[in-house]
Structure 1
């Protein structure tokens, strides 16, 4: 990035565009200062999304209390729908990792010859979005431990069967699950670099001061 800016500055200096040259130099200074202070737009956007996920609405409710809102609305409408036994808890954020695990399992289902895959239509955008929300909600460990695709992949690696139940090849599905698993780890690793950098002290972390071992002079 810096090399590109320097190249632009040199090119503009030859063309003698005074205004563009001034803007390019200011952009170079801003970029250097931002990199030196550790500020990135990506980190800012992630923290902004995190605030949105935990933001309260006009009634003082956050996403984790949406199940109560849905329950109250069903009572007002005269229905008797209960959400306590909801397997995935769709009205609450606490089980979002399981919902995304089920969605990703559908993504990994092998498609036909004339059908587009999810990667061909959307690239890696959906994977980044799902993993980012999971990490911002603090559910990365839950997702890694309870992911449906990871369980199927481990079972397939043990029995190594290539059956085709309902026209779905288990071997092809396991190959797609393996690629998605590697991609998820890479995305989580990248996101953690910006959200949980090892060289930055957390405000809530306990700072322990170490004192040197006392020494006594020999009398």
Structure 2
């Protein structure tokens, strides 16, 4: 049964869903963009992506990982260790698909088609490593991509020295991390590669998309001691 958070008074819906980075966070899942569930509930990865992340870290799918981070009292009630050392960020705090706006009865931004074009362009080519590059040919898409990247850097960079491990999930997350590393080489954090976006591949992300080694590593994120062990195994103290 899905566990829901304590009741909080409703707030006006907005298309901006802020990152979940609590004090003491040292591990960051980097996802792509928020969608319908995130806009509806107001926190990142609260739908299928969050439940798959919960499986990867905790071995359960009945509750999104981000809900447990946001509401530590629920984690304590369920006998789950404090997870405030885990952060969840999105490359884009706004949806890149118009369905997220329509499903939440929000007005579409003027550049919605351009944003969807950026998303499609980023998803066209398979990613082999963080050196992957892509060229935006329509000027409007290039401008939108640069604005998205600038916003991402403004949010990510202040945390870079606290993070010990960053886990990009999906094409868009890999591209943005690649661009960030071009401008900011020799990061103080390790990077765990090879994960797709947990919401896009659904259960196969759990069964097939995660190699046994990756799943074993992700299970180490549940406590601070094993996080240090994982970072050292990736070659970054």
Q: TM-score range by the shorter chain?
A: under 0.3
Structure with the bigger percentage of helix? 1
TM-score normalized with structure 2 length: 0.20
Specify which structure has the bigger relative contact order, considering alpha-carbon pairs within 8 angstroms and separated by 6 or more residues: 2
Structure showing greater Rg: 1
